[in-house]
Structure 1
Amino acid sequence: MKKILLRNLPKVDIILKNKEIENMGKSVDYYTFLSCIKKSINQMREEILKTEDEEKLRLLGENLEENIIKNILSLVEKEKRKKIQRVFNGSGTILHTNLGRSVFSKKIGEKIGEILSSYNNLEYDIEEGKRGSRYKNLENLISQVVGSESALVVNNNAGAVILCLNEFSKNKNTIISRGELVEIGGSFRVPEIIKFSGANLLEVGATNITHLDDYKRNVDEETGVLLKVHTSNYKIKGFTQEVDLKELVKLGKDKNKLVIEDIGSGNLVEFSKYGIVSEPTVMKSLEAGVDLVTFSGDKLLGGCQAGIIVGKKELIDRLKKNQFLRAIRVDKITIALLEELFTNYLDEREAIKNIPTLRMITEKVEDVEERAIRLSNILEERGIKNKVIETKATIGGGSMPDEEIKSFGIEFIFERKISPNRLEEYFRKNKISIIGRIEDNRYFLDMKTIFLDDIDELAQNIQDIFLERGLV
């Protein structure tokens, strides 16, 4: 019987004529598609060869082509999920590191699409008709927004810190408080970054308390810079003390040493005005007199991955001559994205309205509730029982670790018990992945991170999941 089944295995060209398979092939590249077909046929061949039970072999023979096609569809879906693709974020974490952190507005997306699909003036001065600087316009824009003398953009904030320390503290001591030796994420730690830059780490103070005298006692001719790192991804509570930024700046001036601050989150908004806990801003650091400030582009700033350095022009000019800059410079996409982003920051009201990250952080909880009610009503009309629940959303992305934002979510109601982990898997493995949250042994979608324009499509995807999995 095995020989008969092996002879009956369909050829690739026969499989390709199947309508369902033909439609699926349009969603992936031809190489991946053909590989999935061959893999499925080979898997069936192996299944036949290892099966000894005659009844099982008979059943395999009855549904031979159908099983192969079903497996092909499953393999193609798995391959699609390996590539970067759009997902619905129902986790309630605004800056979700695993889901790409900041989201851009559709307007910016359209603008960048035009630039990507055409030539552009990246290093061409249209007014002068000759080669120009790829950074000039963006640097001027950033400086105007934050109030700095100059600015520079590199590929990420770790790169920005390394560049600054390599230029101003190579083979010298970089003095930093022990309480600021943070791990940034992905196992990147400040001590290793300082070492990689060519500087020597000199830690002062204690984990929870650092005094100005701790810095004073260690400043000498071997000192390169005084480095301050904002602990944006954790907080130490209780008996704590850190040196005021203005005091550190005064010490730097008195000792003729540079003060560099890694503010990390890249915040340009005073969130306390919107009922959110206050987070240090780049502008306040510059006002305090810090020589150079570095920050990320894809956290509270609401943009793409980038490291931004702002501060004194003479120092920025030195950084531009550092040979390491070539290795960490940014491309046309990053420049175009940041130009659009910082243009919005020229008017904070425009930034709050047009930058999704800021809009989600500052929006009224009633707006989230409205989205939850709308999705709930659509699902009820389609026979999917659910209820609107109160939740707590988070900012994420290593920013404001203790801050929770009032939110609303959708919890699903079943007549028979279903594991929240199983439900999470069904949603995650959907054609468009839906990433929800499990909390207190229940699965739900937090509407803080679901956009109004996506609700109808999300509802359709939820309905498809429930029908496919027999949940209604």
Structure 2
Amino acid sequence: MKRKVIVTAINDLLQTPEGLELLADFPRTLVIAHLRKITEESRSKQLLEGANPKTNQEILNEARVKLVNDHQPTLKKVINGTGTILHTNLGRSNLAPCIKEDLFHVAFGFSNVEYVLETGERGSRYAHLEKLLQKLTGAEAALVVNNNAAAVLLTLSALAKGKEVVVSRGELVEIGGSFRIPEIMELSGCHLKEIGTTNKTHKKDYLQATEEEFEGLILKVHTSNYSIKGFTAEVDLKDLKEIASTRNIPLVYDMGSGVLTSLANYGVETGYTVKEVLSTGVDIVTFSGDKLLGGPQAGIIVGKKEYIEKMKEHQLTRALRVDKMTIAALEGTLRLYLDEIKAISSIPTLNMLTLSKEELHRKAICLMKSLFRLEGLQVKLIEGISQVGGGSMPDVELSSWLLALEPENLSTTSFVEALRKASIPIILRIKKEQCLLDIRTVNETDFPIVINMIRETLDSHR
């Protein structure tokens, strides 16, 4: 005797209260596609395996679960418990909360991005940022594109296409994601002229390379991702500027991660600021808008007006230009730098870099007390090291306080994986079979989220 197959009409499902709710919450085409797939799978199992058919309620419930999962944004908030402040995979810099309102108005309404309110004429989008950058760095002019690799590409294309560019072998770095200085130079149409060795480059190397009516430029690249120690030598910016002036050629410095204010008074050695670099006479400096600056992803070019003007007129500038949201976020961040104390307290990157050991200990104790209340979890307070990350300051280690989390019913790997897959993911690190949460990169306002996500994870694995 043949088993009767129950056929559920999609239209009947859509007319139920649950079906109408699905149509209100999700696109109609997606709702129908999921209902159809679930009902077809139910029929196949009934025919082939003799399984009981799913009820309408079961079909609708399953459809809602699948729609919720499929319709969620893939880019979402995560809690960074790794201790790496500029974590490239987790979005690097967080914007200052105090600029949120300005960014909101620009993002969700019309704005004067290329409109001069005083005259009613068309203006330049770069004007919103240029005066601020001039004031903060002492540069004659400034231009902003979409990242620092683009800034280097535009600089070389505008100033050295078809010409030679002198670079020390020790500075032919890979920026990240397999983007390399030699390849960017090739793309710009200039010709790489390597000098020196990996560990040593001398003044005479630059002098010899720029003899005989040399018409290109000298490019110095900050080795942001690594450092070479021991038997080394490099030429400082003042000496390079002297050579460039003698040869009547530009000196360009790819600074990588731009520093606008020194953090030395807070125990963090960030190296030269952009203003200090320009004071040596360097003609063009390029650096990132995120990373140590603490703004949105952008490539900032500052320096001599005659060279910046050439870049503004170059066709690549249109392709590499920034949008209104980047301009608003960067302008808001730069304005904070007009008051150094406000910048350090307001910009999350600077704030995390300068947190004292005492403040970190207070934060750690506060979170630990709440985690102690969770059943099935052991928590220990230990000392550890945070990293700057983001291709910045590879030698700098920041003393921090960490929470070592030990769940009773989960292995270390399973616990880390479960938190990574939580509704609001928490990213931890594993060291010596311990689940470690570095308090430096966790905002206190997110402590309730951390507690709830850990509680839910523990409860689901009892």
What is the rounded CA distance, in whole Å, between the counterparts of 1:431 and 1:291 in structure 2?
49
Residue identity matched to 1:289: G
Distance 1:208 1:455 in 2: 46
In 2: Cα distance, 1:237 partner to 1:249 partner: 24
Paired AA for residue 402 in structure 2: G
Offset, 1:381 = 2.6
Structure 1 CA distance, aligned partners of 2:123 and 2:359?
A: 46
1:459 aligns with 2:451: yes
Cross-structure match for 1:333: 325
8 Å CA contact retained: 1:303, 1:341: yes
Residue aligned with 2:225, SS: coil
**In 2, distance between residues paired with 1:207 and 1:66?**
69
Partner of 1:7: 6
User: CA shift at 1:259, angstroms?
Assistant: 0.3
Report the CA distance shift for 1:178/1:44 in structure 2 as closer, same or farther (over 3 A). farther
Normalised by the length of structure 2, the TM-score is: 0.91
Partner of 1:54: none
Check whether the contact 2:81–2:437 (CA below 8 A) recurs between aligned residues. Answer: yes
Same amino acid, percent of matched pairs: 42
Distance in 2 of aligned mates of 1:371 and 1:387:
14
Contact 1:385 1:412 in 2 (8 A): yes
1:86 aligns with 2:86: no
- AA in 1 matched with 2:434: R
| Deviation for aligned residue 1:69 | 6.4
Selected match of 2:124 from 133, 136, 141: 133
Residues 214 and 406 (structure 1 numbering): CA distance in 2 closer, same or farther, change over 3 Å? same
Distance 2:298 2:2 in 1: 59
1:438 aligns with 2:437: no
Match of 1:227 in 2: 219
Q: Residue type of the partner of 2:429?
A: R
Give 1:118 deviation, angstroms: 1.5
Q: Distance in 2 between matches of 1:389 and 1:460?
A: 22
Aligned-pair Cα RMSD in Å: 2.7
Please give the TM-score of this superposition, normalised by the length of structure 1. Answer: 0.89
- Equivalent in the alignment of 1:283: 275
Aligned length: 460
Distance in 1, matches of 2:395 and 2:448, equals 33
Q: Find the aligned partners of 1:331 and 1:149 in 2 and give their Cα distance.
A: 23
**Residue correspondence of structure 1 range 347-366 to structure 2 within 5 A:** 347-366=339-358
The offset of 1:43, in angstroms, is 5.0
- Partner of residue 412, structure 1: 405
Cα deviation 1:392-414 (Å, max 9, x = unaligned): 11111111112221122222233
**How far, CA to CA, are the matches of 1:21 and 1:463 in structure 2?**
34
Q: Classify the secondary structure of the residue corresponding to 1:402.
A: coil
Shift, 1:122, TM fit: 1.1
- Residue type at the aligned position of 1:128: T
SS in 1 for 2:209: coil
For the pair 1:300 / 2:299, whether they are aligned, the reply is: no
What is the identity, as a one-letter code, of the residue corresponding to 1:252? A
Give, in whole Å, the separation in 1 of the partners of 2:12 and 2:421.
29
Cα 1:237/1:29, change in 2 over 3 Å: farther
Q: Please say if 1:178 is aligned against 2:169.
A: yes
Structure 2: runs of 5+ lacking an equivalent: none
Give the equivalent residue in structure 1 for 2:390: 397
Query: Structure 1: which 5+ runs fail to align?
Result: 52-56
Q: CA deviation at 1:336?
A: 0.9
8 A contact 2:217–2:251 mirrored in 1: yes
* Cα deviation, residue 159, structure 1: 1.1
Residues 42-51 or 232-241, more deviating:
42-51
Alpha-carbon displacement from aligned partner over 1:203-247 (angstroms, at most 9, x marks no partner): 110011111111111114344110000001111122111111111
The structure 2 residue matched to 1:195, chosen from 186, 191, 207, is 186
2:117 alignment partner AA: I
Q: Which is worse superposed, 453-462 or 246-255?
A: 453-462
